[in-house]
């Protein structure tokens, strides 16, 4: 079973979370909701990896989030 680390970063300018993974070409998704983005990533990965002949795709996904907040 393959394992992938998905980086979820908050884009303050656009007010969205962005998902990227260097090991999955084409994986760049965004959503205003963290949970929605995680679900979208789980749906997109099998299509992006194009598993030939695999009737059932399985992978372990490690989600790592980064968000900077400034407080005063």
pLDDT at residue number 52: 47
pLDDT at residue number 55: 54
Say if residues 38 and 63 touch (Cβ distance below 8 Å). Answer: yes
28 token code pair: 């760049």
Model confidence, pTM: 0.83
Query: Residue 60 is inside which H or E element, if any?
Result: strand 59-66
What top-level class would CATH report for the domain 2-51+58-66? alpha beta
Series of mean pLDDT values for 10-residue runs along the chain (72 residues): 94 96 93 97 88 66 92 90
């Amino acid at each position: 079973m393959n394992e992938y680390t998905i980086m979820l970063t908050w884009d303050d300018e656009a007010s969205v979370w962005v998902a990227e993974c260097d090991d999955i070409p084409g994986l760049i998704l965004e959503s205003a909701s963290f949970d929605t983005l995680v679900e979208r990533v789980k749906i997109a990965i099998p299509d992006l990896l194009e598993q030939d002949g695999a009737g059932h795709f399985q992978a372990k996904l490690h989600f790592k989030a980064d968000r900077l907040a400034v407080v005063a």
